[in-house]
């Protein structure tokens, strides 16, 4: 839900209400919250004829205790008799929760929702998950990645979640699992390929902050702590470069952050 307008008198407001498995609605309410009328409902007539609404999933983190939550998109034209690859659409930033809360709205997560739906339309499962070390949860959950940004959203939590999902859905092919996203997600995709190549066969990393020592200090130091060589080395993707095994697909990508070039240093090879 998001407030999108308030009358000059303050007696009325417009809110847009959404959920992950239904079209959003805009509603006019009185100051006390009582309903005046529905103003508009999104038109879904242009959705594909075989469109599948995604569904929320509740799983267990790698510690075997903590509950973690996500959103799973089915492949377009899903056939239960077939098996499909799965792509983990990850974001490794401790300042946000990545899982969308509604569909096709201007609320936080709308870009992630559309991107995941687009990938699913190519014939794959797509998972968006918030592992330990991300926001909007209890303090211990949020602070799990402080001083250890390489664990934000926790790659091991994602691995545990994907294996659980495959146990529940035989149509998920664990031999064809990929991971992708941009910025903090690009960083986590790269690290996943380097540290957990046992599961992630393809990683496409876009515009990642691969080394916090080269990124904005106002972000790195806020969530990772003041610069210490050993601390920051544990976060840097290059620290784990020797872990690249098998056929991994990581896009060469460069970006400039405050004049410092960050370069992804991996070769493009393989596919799911």
Average of pLDDT values for 110-127? 91
Question: Phi first, then psi: what are they for 150, rounded to 5°?
Answer: -65, -10
Assess whether 30 and 91 both reside in one domain: no
Assess whether 118 and 211 both reside in one domain: yes
The pLDDT of residue 266 is above 80 = no
Distance of CA 214 to the CA centre of its chain: 23
The pLDDT of residue 69 is above 60 = yes
Is 49 a domain residue?
Answer: no
Assess whether 110 and 184 both reside in one domain: yes
Average of pLDDT values for 74-81? 92
Assess whether 36 and 63 both reside in one domain: no
Q: What is the pLDDT of residue 48?
A: 85
The pLDDT of residue 172 is above 90 = yes
Instruction: Using pLDDT thresholds of 50, 70 and 90, give the confidence band for residue 262.
Output: very low
Nearest in space to 32 (alpha carbons), one of 1, 2, 11: 11
Assess whether 21 and 132 both reside in one domain: no
Q: Are 148 and 234 in contact (CB under 8 A)?
A: yes
Is 270 a domain residue?
Answer: no
First to last CA, the chain: 37
Instruction: Kindly report, residue by residue over 7-25, the tens digit of the pLDDT.
Output: 999 999 999 888 999 999 9
Instruction: Using pLDDT thresholds of 50, 70 and 90, give the confidence band for residue 246.
Output: low
Q: What is the pLDDT of residue 269?
A: 42
Is 269 a domain residue?
Answer: no
Average of pLDDT values for 158-163? 98
Measured CA to CA, the distance from residue 157 to residue 164 in angstroms comes to 11
Q: Are 101 and 20 in contact (CB under 8 A)?
A: yes
Q: Are 219 and 232 in contact (CB under 8 A)?
A: no
Assess whether 89 and 188 both reside in one domain: yes
Instruction: Kindly report, residue by residue over 129-149, the tens digit of the pLDDT.
Output: 999 999 999 999 999 999 998
Instruction: Using pLDDT thresholds of 50, 70 and 90, give the confidence band for residue 260.
Output: very low
Nearest in space to 14 (alpha carbons), one of 2, 24, 106: 2
Residue given tokens 């899982």 in the structure block: 99
The pLDDT of residue 109 is above 60 = no
Give the pTM: 0.86
> Which of 7-11, 37-41, 113-117, 244-248 has the least mean pLDDT?
244-248
Q: Which domain holds residue 18?
A: 2-41
Assess whether 60 and 37 both reside in one domain: no
Average of pLDDT values for 215-243? 88
Q: What is the CATH number of the domain that holds 126?
A: 3.40.50.1820
Nearest in space to 37 (alpha carbons), one of 50, 47, 27: 27
Assess whether 239 and 192 both reside in one domain: yes
Assess whether 134 and 112 both reside in one domain: yes
Q: What's the number of domains the chain is made of? A: 2
Nearest in space to 188 (alpha carbons), one of 232, 166, 158: 158
Assess whether 129 and 188 both reside in one domain: yes
- Collapsing DSSP to helix, strand or coil, 217 comes out as helix
């Amino acid at each position: 839900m998001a407030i999108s307008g308030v009358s000059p008198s303050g007696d009325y407001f417009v809110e847009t209400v959404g959920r992950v498995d239904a079209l959003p609605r805009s509603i006019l309410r009185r100051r006390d919250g009582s309903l005046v009328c529905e103003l508009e409902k999104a038109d879904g007539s242009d959705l594909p004829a075989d469109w599948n609404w995604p569904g929320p999933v509740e799983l267990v983190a790698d510690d075997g205790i903590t509950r973690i939550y996500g959103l799973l998109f089915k492949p377009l034209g899903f056939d239960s008799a077939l098996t499909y690859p799965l792509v983990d659409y990850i974001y490794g930033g401790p300042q946000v929760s990545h899982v969308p809360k509604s569909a096709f709205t201007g609320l936080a997560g709308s870009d992630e929702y559309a991107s995941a739906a687009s990938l699913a339309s190519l014939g794959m499962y797509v998972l968006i998950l918030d592992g330990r070390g991300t926001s909007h949860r209890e303090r211990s959950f949020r602070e799990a990645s402080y001083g250890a940004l390489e664990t934000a959203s926790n790659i091991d939590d994602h691995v545990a979640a994907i294996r659980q999902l495959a146990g529940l859905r035989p149509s998920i092919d664990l031999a064809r699992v990929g991971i992708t996203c941009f910025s903090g997600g690009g960083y986590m995709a790269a690290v996943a390929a380097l540290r957990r190549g046992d599961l992630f066969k393809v990683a496409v990393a876009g515009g990642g902050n691969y080394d916090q020592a080269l990124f904005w200090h106002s972000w790195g130091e806020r969530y990772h702590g003041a610069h210490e060589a050993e601390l920051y080395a544990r976060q840097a993707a290059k620290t784990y470069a020797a872990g690249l095994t098998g056929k991994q697909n990581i896009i060469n990508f460069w970006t400039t952050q405050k004049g410092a070039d960050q370069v992804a240093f991996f070769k493009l090879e393989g596919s799911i």
